[in-house]
Structure 1
Amino acid sequence: MNVMNAVFPSALHFDAGLPAFLALLLSFGTISLLLGALLIVLARLRSNRSSLETRIRELRSAYEKIETLSHERREFEEKFQAIFDNSPYSIAFNALDGTYLGANKAFLSRWGISREEALTRSVQDLAAVDNDERLRFIQMLERDGSFSNMETKISRPDGAVGYVLFSASLVSIGGLTSILSTAVDVTSLKEAEQSVKRWRQKFDLTTAAAKLTFYEYDVDNDVLSWSGSMLDVLGYNPQEMRGGLDVWTELLHPEDADRATALFEEALSQKKRYIIEYRLRRKDGSYADVFEYGQLFARTPDSPKRVLGIIQDVSETKRTEKALMQSEEKYRAIFNNAPIGIFRTSYDGRFLEANPTLARMLGYRDRDELLSSVESLETGIYPHPHTRRDMLEALLVSPGGIRREIEFKRKDGSPFYAVINASLQFDDSGRPAYLDGTIEDITTRRAAEERLRQSEEKFASIFRLSPDGIVLFGLDTQRIQDVNDAFVDLFGFSREELLGKTTIELGMYQTPAVRERLYELIHAKETIRDYELTAYRKSGEEIVCLLSCQLIDINGHPTVFAVIRDLREMKRMQQLMIQTEKMQSLGGLAAGMAHEINNPLGIIVQGVQNTTRRLDPFLEPNIEVARRHELDLHRLAMFLEERNIFRYLKGIRDAGERAADIVSNMLSFSRNSERTFSSNDLSAIASKALELAGKDFDLKKHYDFRRLNIVREYDPALPLVPCVGTEIEQVILNLVRNAAQAMARAGTESPALTLRTKRMQDWAVIEVEDNGPGIPKDELARIFEPFYTTKKIGEGTGLGLSVSYFIITNNHHGHLSASSREGRGAKFVISLPLGQDA
């Protein structure tokens, strides 16, 4: 039990001090022997006085030896004490009852006590291990007398847990059995091992999760070693895969083998990193898609030339990519073949995506044309810009989705009706980003509903939709039962003024006889077709009409259904056609006259040139004739110069050439064009149109085109444009004459007309801008309508701008638009495609 009480895990950082202790014991034994020898010598001195001298010398020698040994002992003790005290390991001596007999500084420092305090304490006071561990140590001491480097867990003075390598031995000091113990602190080493273990576990977990396989290839010895997730990736144990490079090449997919080995050999030869994607055969015969990352390391004194690499299994990624691609293909198939339009637009009003169905709905060839052509949704697909703005306001209130019936317009401007389902998406900052949705064309459905409504309402839709005036009146009462809007507009009465009245009461006929004749025809034939008559509007204006009517039965009552067509426009067209025919005849006469005029003009110009040459004093023939008649040509030239004869001749020549140009332009403009597209200089065409317009003047109205300030802003870099030159010239001429006449009628001060040519992406643009009175807003929307004119009767036909619009949009697939600011001028913009086939 005394041994049990003496054993303890002494402290932190102990080391075995047994060899030093044994040396100390040997020193003490030697001294004892020397003292015994000295006593023997003294005894002999007593018995043998005769050898005293000799014995004294021997004694002195022995004393000197003792002194030397004592000195060596003191040095040894000092060294031992220095080693004992300064050892980095804890060393302690204990009696068998557990009382401390001694301890070094490391021990005292670790426990935070002084040497005196340690000598008053026992092992039980400073116990740091549990009872089971203490019992195990006691058993080992009792059985073997010692044990060494036993790892054990201890509790430190501050409560922290540490680990030590503990050693203990039974020793005898001065005949007293004691326990010598040492302890080496391995806490840091233990923690490092545990940290390495944890990182190894993390590394193994990461490797397994990422399916990473590591290899090292000894190039010089052709040895390939594997680690990592080889078993998880390919099903092989790393030990099974040991061997040379052929182990790897045999697993390559036949389609990837040549490429993979070539890349590997190239990386070896060029000593560079490499990345290879290929397939490796698994143990079950299937193939895994892998990425390989490798690096060649040169030979060093400590290691051979080797390649380190990582192989990552990307089969799952490949399957995901394939599934995603298949999903994308399915989505794209649905997107492209959906019977409804699908779109994504930006919040500010641009198409981001659209399917082919939507492109066809809107009248475009395909998706690409739709996305490139429609720059602004508000004006590109909505007849009224406020329609989209209203929809955006509704989406801000209900971003999850709205459903509305909306009118859209196609590329050609024609309307169609659709149901739009839209939702609003936001960006990361919470701002509106884009709209997703579908558009379903309900034009056919609406048409069917409209036909049903027409059937139910009988003639109500005919009344509203017909451009001709329609009237229903009873055959017996002769009173008007219903009229459509066109009838109201045609005769100028309100609907309330018409209903219940007779045509006699309204004063629509020239004489009652005309009305009676119509009723006679209805009773006789029940149908009248294309009967021309003259009627009167409410204002008294006379209108020529074409009447068709039929007797029908409505609810058992005979009713006259009459359709009245306004013939005023047709009559005007007939007059226009007559006028056009006259103009064509006049054009033919003008062309013939121009040819006839060209002949005398040629003679005049040629005569002036010949006269000028025959007056030249330096021509040899003139000199010879003048010498024959004794005439001084130089004096004659001086006379002619002084009398301005040369200037008059030059004026005649210039006037003749100018007249010839005018005649040439008239001929070019009056000729019938074959509408052959060719590459033309728009700036030259504009200048030619200005030159023709410059001949436009009216003496009665003091109007002269030449008084305008003409500004030409031509782009010299504008390429040749495929077009019909005469038609574009006609359009420009019409626009500049309209502008000039408008400024003249308004009395514009300092009238100016600007012609510009420029390029805007794939379009050639011509702008005609004036500083005249401008065009009122209510008239601006109708200026391209046929027969619409703001000029007085007889001054214009209303066909100039409509013909120009037709030439640009239909013949040349371009655009013609107008903008105006009242009182500040108007601007017409012609856009012609540069890519049109010439």
Structure 2
Amino acid sequence: MKNKEKWFEHIFNNSGVGILIVDKNRTILEVNKTFCDIVGYSYEELINKHARVLHISDESSKKFGEIAFNTVLENNTLDLEYKFRHRDGSSIWIKITGDVIKDKQEVLWIITNINKRVMFQEELAKLNDTLNSKIDSQIKILREKDRQLQYQGRLAQMGEMLNMISHQWRQPLMSISATTSFLQAKLLIEEFNQEEFLNELHLIDDSAEHLSNTINDFRNFFKLDKQKVITSLEDIVENTLKIVKPILLNNQINLIIDFKSHDNIYTLENELRQVVLNILKNAEDAFIENNIKNRTIQIKTYSKNDFAYLDISDNAGGIKEENLNKIFNTYFTTKSSTNGTGLGLCMSKTIIEDNCKGYLTAINNKNNGATFSIKLPIKK
């Protein structure tokens, strides 16, 4: 019996966990060395003291008694993480489990020190808060950069628009100027013919109407409209060619159109037009920069596996292999500083993939040129 008592005493005092025994009035009856080490008190400082000494406040002690102590006395399982007070006044986190002994007259508490783990978790939480704050800050910076990119892209589009308007207006304005000069000359030499004058005035009216229609086309093309509509790749191409075709033809660029899709797509119509315009303008620039003689752009649509495809191919010299995976990067351009901003293809990819939920890719084709392919889901 004595050997058993010594054996139990050895286990009690050398256990890897803290042991605390209190009576139903929460008076401390027994503690082991591990528990004393956890809370910083000596054995003598704890025995016969009220368990309130272990709590960070009277309120905490009362709360623990209501939640934990009474739970154990009612034969309910308790597994709790709680904050105790160390002898030096600091707070320590412990994990505590309890059970009743001696016909519910006493409670045996098993205590594990989890202060390092809790402190680590709190530090990790602070780090996460800091990281989240930094992420939020970076997101704001990226959004501002994106806003600036869109603004710069809009300026570039305005420059392109003014160039195309001036090109399309040049011929009707020259026609109006020539007609008015002709009529003025007739009046000066007093050779007035009413029918001839009316015919010439009709020519002026036709030219003025062409100018008005051109403005309407450009206004509709570049208006800021984020509403998705049901359209087709063919309509997108045809409306874009109204804007850019005269310039392409003026630069001796032959257009080959091959429409085979005609399926409906649900997309941002105006933004998609601007993507097509940007690809066509890039091809035009490449023809001029590379001094290509026989210039051809082929525009082809087709459908496959619930997707509508638009391929725009040229024979303008192609893209250098080392640049193929860079052309959609922000600010990357192979043009001179006066001709390129590096924003067009980057914004085009964003429009297609983020806004239109499609795909935009580029490859070199067998005709010594590049092929840009737009893939969009068909509207069911």
Normalising by the residue count of structure 1, what TM-score does the alignment of the two structures yield? 0.23
Normalising by the residue count of structure 2, what TM-score does the alignment of the two structures yield? 0.49
By relative contact order (CA 8 Å, sep 6+), the higher-ranking structure is: 2
